[in-house]
């Protein structure tokens, strides 16, 4: 199990492999972000995207799927998150792209009021298959401390 004490400021990890499909882009858009450039090739071609693109919220959701898979793989004692800061969509994500994630740990500190947990902050960067950053955010995580005894 990976506890708060095992996470170090400055550590960098890279993980994930998410293949973006046209079907998933359109399904997500129909349900959550039904703007024409996420649903219609002709409409998308007339925008600065140039072609059908994934919703930024879909990019965030795909990133979350990779984050959770990594937490499970590393058996991190994660306790959820109070949020993210500075979410930025830098470049469009298109069907056919393959995404991956890098996280640099910026801060690790025990909770002042809850000794059984602490807080981590990390810079999350999502890259496409060409190593072009497509999204960044500063994640805030709650992680259990190592049990005493």
Q: Is 83 within the bounds of a domain?
A: yes
For position 19, which CATH number holds?
Answer: 3.10.129.10
Does residue 68 lie within any of the structural domains? yes
Q: Which residue has the tokens 């910026």?
A: 106
Q: Which domain holds residue 130?
A: 4-144
Is residue 149, in this structure, part of any structural domain at all?
Answer: no
Please report whether residue 9 resides in a domain: yes
Domain count across the chain? 1
Helices 22-32 and 56-73, packing angle to 10 deg? 110
Mind listing the pLDDT tens digit of every residue in the chain (149 residues)? 999 999 999 999 999 999 999 999 999 999 999 999 999 999 999 999 999 999 999 999 999 999 999 999 989 999 999 999 999 999 999 999 999 999 999 999 999 999 999 999 999 999 999 999 999 999 999 999 999 87
pTM (two decimals)? 0.94
Please report the beta strands in 55-127, taking only residues with DSSP state E, as ranges in sequence order: 83-89, 98-110, 117-127
């Amino acid at each position: 199990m990976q506890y708060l004490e095992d996470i170090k400021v400055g550590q960098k990890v890279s993980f994930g492999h998410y293949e973006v499909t046209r079907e998933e882009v359109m399904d997500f858009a129909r349900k959550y972000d039904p703007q024409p450039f996420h649903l219609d090739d002709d409409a998308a071609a007339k925008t600065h995207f140039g072609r059908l693109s994934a919703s930024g919220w879909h990019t965030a959701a795909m990133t979350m799927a990779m984050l959770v898979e990594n937490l499970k793989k590393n058996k991190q004692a994660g306790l959820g998150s109070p949020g993210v800061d500075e979410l930025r969509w830098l470049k469009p994500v298109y069907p056919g792209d393959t995404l991956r994630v890098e996280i640099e740990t910026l801060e690790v500190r025990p909770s002042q009021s809850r000794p059984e947990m602490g807080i981590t902050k990390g810079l999350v960067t999502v890259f496409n298959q060409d190593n072009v950053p497509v999204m960044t955010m500063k994640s805030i995580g709650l992680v259990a401390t190592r049990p005493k005894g």
